[in-house]
Amino acid sequence: MAGKMKVADDCSYKTFSVCESAADSSSTRVEEDGESDGPAVFMCGKCKLPIGDSLSWAGSDDEQNQIMLKRITDNVFIGKEPFVSGTRKELGCLVVNLTCRGCCSELGIMYISTPKKLDYKRSLFCFNVENIER
């Protein structure tokens, strides 16, 4: 299954494809009230550019108010300068910022190095729920 997506910076279209097996495994279900239960698209809370979808869902962390995705769109800039996180729970973690290419809003972080108890977050894209929309 292929389609076209508008790219923000040069107003051209970029072709993308969806794995057929992924599309089949998450087929749209229509509820009794008429709403579909298909994949969700996550967008920047400020400029509404798409940043990822529920097909790449890796989990959530209610304590940190984060959702974790395995893949993101080109609309998210991954910082090049790692820094040591200063929060109490993430003490000792090396992270980079995830920033929206459209409006430069900070969306979340990606863990580069973690203590053993946070290994499950390493290399995942962790978005702050308050900075995104569904």
pLDDT digits (tens, 9 = 90+) for 73-92: 999 999 999 999 877 777 78
Q: Give the total number of structural domains in the chain.
A: 1
Q: Which domain holds residue 54?
A: 40-133
Sheet strands side by side (includes 41-44):
50-53, 41-44, 132-133
Residue 88: the pLDDT is: 76
Is the pLDDT score of 12 beyond 70?
Answer: no
Which two three-digit tokens encode residue 69? 């995705």
- Assess if residue 85 is contained within a domain: yes
In 3D, which of 41, 47, 42, 53 has the Cα closest to residue 105? 47
Q: Is residue 13 part of a domain?
A: no
Within a domain: 32:
no
Strands 125-128 and 66-69: antiparallel
Q: What is the mean pLDDT of residues 34-48?
A: 85
- Supply the CATH number for residue 117's domain: 2.170.150.20
108 falls within a domain: yes
Burial of 107 (0-12, 13-18, 19+ CB in 10 A): buried
Give the tens place of pLDDT for each residue, 58-69: 999 999 899 999
Q: What is the CA radius of gyration of the chain?
A: 16
* Residue 47 located in a structural domain: yes
21: exposed, middle or buried (Cβ count in 10 Å: 0-12, 13-18, 19+): exposed
Q: Does any domain span residue 88? A: yes
CA–CA gap between residue 133 and residue 67 (Å, rounded): 11
Give CA separation, 93 vs 25, 26, 61, 71, 117, in Å.
35, 34, 16, 21, 11
In a domain, 26, yes or no: no
